[in-house]
A and B are shown apart, each in its own frame.
Chain A
Amino acid sequence: MLESGLGGKTCLVTGAANGIGRATAELLAGEGARLALCDNAADALAAVELPLGEGGDGGEGGEKPLKTVADLSKRAEVERVLAETTARFGTLDVLIHCAGIYRVSELPAVTDDEWEQVIDVNLRSSFLLAQGAVELMRGHGDGRIVLFGSFAARTGGLRASAPYAASKAGVEGLTRHVAHYAGPLGVRVNCVHPGFTVTPMTEILGDQARAEAIERSPLRRHCGPAEQASVAVFLASDLAAFVHGATLDVNGGMYMA
């Protein structure tokens, strides 16, 4: 009844070199999943070592994770990552897309280039990966997709820039669209909206901004990547078998929805 059902499942985790993606990969390794890890930072990805042990190191058979470096805002790169994953494992069961970039430019300072980059890396990648994953998952009819939005989708961004907030709100709409299309195909898709989480991505914020975020947080603390990863893994698991098209806010009560 409480089995995650993730043992032996092929899971593609993006942004896996650090932060929430890496924490997700660690939890999935503990579940005995077969892992394809993707990041744009080659050195950091190469340095990822998952805990060994029962089902550890990415698979029941002690399989090493597949590691692949890619820019997921490009269609050809996404297609390559999906192809490498299925070439190695024969299937794709779970996609948890954590990769993203964060910017804090004030509205007047946002350039066309910044807008395009943030929308491409956060939103276009979500679209490309979901589109490709659904095609692979419809064949077996038991797929799970978790996309990452943000607290900024709710608030419009307290520090985050306009393109960041817009890209993450876009992920929520995308999640619902994919839910309509892919639910009947046996593919579940959900979205996590993390609040402020201590990761390399948010290092761009200064100490003062971090202190203010704690001040505003009802739980009076920041969130670590593991607390976001555990929610993503729940959504991918059998425990969430009837959770579909939903958004799960993980912000300690900063924005209740």
Chain B
Amino acid sequence: MSGMGGAAEQTLAGRAGVVTGGSRGLGRSIAEAFVAAGARVAVLDLDGAEQAAEEIGGETFGLAGDVTDAAAVEAAFAQVAERFGRFDFLVNNAGTRVQAPFESHPLDVWRRTIDVNLTGSFICAQAAIALMLERGGGQIVNLASIAGAIALKERAAYNASKGGVIALTQSIAAELSGRGIRCNAIAPGIIETPLSAAYFRDERMVGAITANTPLGRWGQPHEIAGPAVFLCSPAAEFVHGHTLFVDGGWMAFKGY
């Protein structure tokens, strides 16, 4: 769309970067959309990255890696910059979610969730920004969640990690603005992905989701991918430090 600075396919033409957790679900859909918009994408994931890259096509390549391992991320991102000759965008999508009642929430699960969702985003952003600044800038999109703004029950660690991602987004935006870095977050509502597959088999859950979403349905991964492309595109040149809720109206209904 020309609102995004040219034909849709050309919105991100010439750009290159990384989508973490890009083998499946939201990350996969985001990687596909970035390629469709003309970008070259490296998919980083614990497993399945190479196969996903092959299926996505184009110049996509896969990197096996753990976002919580700073040295591994730094090495992987250096490889991306070398292979593509640039590093323009990072989509911090890798994440985990575990349901546990607060009173018996296992500490190791808490630590692991914060580690992957929040610390992983920090590690990747830090590594990416170093490479972006070498070339004068870039765009970062962090995947937060409605859970970062309103508590979902029995997901204390997840909620806290995603609230942290929103604060991290604003921190990066505040500190690196004026140096060519734009940083924003997307806060999805309920999206049908492998991570949330269990919801859609539970009739009670399906009823609750549709009743709490003014659009009357849950979202599909490509409906997060479109906003991710937008936020990295010239169309969002003045959008900075913002958390874009993509939730079918959930937040408007359930309140902040």
Contact = CB atoms under 8 A, between A and B. Distances in A.
Chain A complexes with chain B:
yes
Contacts of A228: 238
Contacts of A227: 237-238
Contacts of A240: 226-227, 230, 246
Contact of B5 (A3, A183, A230, A257): A230
Given A6-B1, A242-B189, A234 B230 contact: yes
Contacts of B4: 230, 234, 239
A105 interface: no
* Of B11, B33, B220, B239, most A-chain CB atoms within 10 Å: B239
Interface residues of B, number: 53
A186 to B, nearest CB: 8
Contacts of A251: 238, 240
B13 interface: no
Given A1-B33, A180-B253, A219-B177, A244 B247 contact: yes
A230 B170 CA distance: 22
Given A218-B177, A239-B226, A249 B239 contact: yes
Interface string A223-250: 1000111110110011111111110111
B244 interface: yes
B42 interface: no
A6 B8 CA distance: 12
Given A3-B8, A179-B214, A234-B235, A252 B226 contact: no
B189 A234 contact: no
B14 interface: no
A179 B242 contact: no
B241 A245 contact: no
* Of B214, B224, B235, most A-chain CB atoms within 10 Å: B214
A179 B174 contact: no
A246 B11 CA distance: 23
Contact of B252 (A31, A176, A219, A229): A176
Given A2-B11, A180-B252, A183-B249, A230 B226 contact: no
Nearest to B188: A242
B215 interface: yes
Given A183-B248, A244-B248, A4 B1 contact: yes
Contact of B251 (A6, A245, A252): A245
B92 interface: no
Interface in B209-235: 213-216, 219-220, 222-227, 229-230, 234-235
Given A183-B216, A242-B224, A253-B174, A248 B239 contact: yes
Interface residues of A, number: 46
Contacts of B191: 242
A231 B248 contact: no
Contacts of B214: 179-180, 182-184, 244-245
A4 B5 CA distance: 12
Nearest to A244: B249
B36 A2 contact: yes
A223 B239 CA distance: 10
B252 A246 contact: yes
A227 B253 CA distance: 29
A149 interface: no
Given A2-B37, A234-B230, A245 B253 contact: yes
A252 B238 contact: yes
Contacts of B237: 227, 230
Contact of B2 (A27, A219, A220, A256): A27
Contacts of A246: 244-247, 249, 251-252
B108 to A, nearest CB: 33
A141 to B, nearest CB: 11
A26 to B, nearest CB: 9
A253 to B, nearest CB: 4
* Of A183, A184, A240, most B-chain CB atoms within 10 Å: A183
Closest 3 pairs (CB-CB, A-B): A245-B252, A183-B214, A239-B226
6 contacts: A179-B214, A183-B216, A183-B248, A219-B240, A239-B229, A239-B230
Given A1-B36, A233-B1, A246-B251, 15 more contacts: A175-B252, A176-B252, A180-B249, A227-B237, A228-B238, A229-B3, A230-B234, A233-B3, A234-B4, A239-B1, A239-B230, A240-B246, A241-B226, A248-B242, A249-B242
